[in-house]
Amino acid sequence: MSQRGKFISLEGGEGAGKSTQIAPLVAWLGERGISTKVTREPGGSPGAEEIRTLLVTGDPSRWSPVTEALLLYAARRDHVDRTIEPALAAGSWVLCDRFADSSVAYQGFAYGLGDHWVHALHESVLGSFWPDATLILDVPVELGLARAKTRHGDEDRYERMDRSFHERLREGYRAIAAHAPQRCTLIDASRDAEAVQSDMRAALVGRFPELGR
CATH (domain of 190): 3.40.50.300
pLDDT the model gives residue 155: 59
User: Which residue type is seen at 59?
Assistant: D
| 3-state secondary structure at position 150 | coil
Interatomic CA distance for residues 107 and 172, integer angstroms: 10
Whether 11 is covered by a domain: the verdict is yes
Domain that holds residue 200: 7-212
> Please, are residues 109 and 175 in contact by the beta-carbon 8 Å criterion?
yes
Interatomic CA distance for residues 151 and 166, integer angstroms: 17
pLDDT the model gives residue 1: 56
Whether 2 is covered by a domain: the verdict is no
Whether 52 is covered by a domain: the verdict is yes
Residues 6+ apart with CB under 8 A from 156: 56, 57, 148
Q: For the chain, how many helices (H) and strands (E)?
A: 9, 5
Whether 204 is covered by a domain: the verdict is yes
What's the total number of domains in the chain?
A: 1
CA atoms within 13 A on the CB side of 121: 24
One digit per residue, the tens of pLDDT, for the chain of length 213 reads: 579 999 999 998 877 778 889 999 999 999 999 999 999 999 999 999 999 999 988 888 899 999 999 999 999 999 999 999 999 999 999 999 999 999 999 999 999 999 999 999 999 999 999 999 999 998 887 766 676 676 656 656 766 767 888 889 999 999 999 999 999 999 999 889 999 999 999 999 999 999 987
124: exposed, middle or buried (C-beta count within 10 Å: 0-12, 13-18, 19+)? Answer: exposed
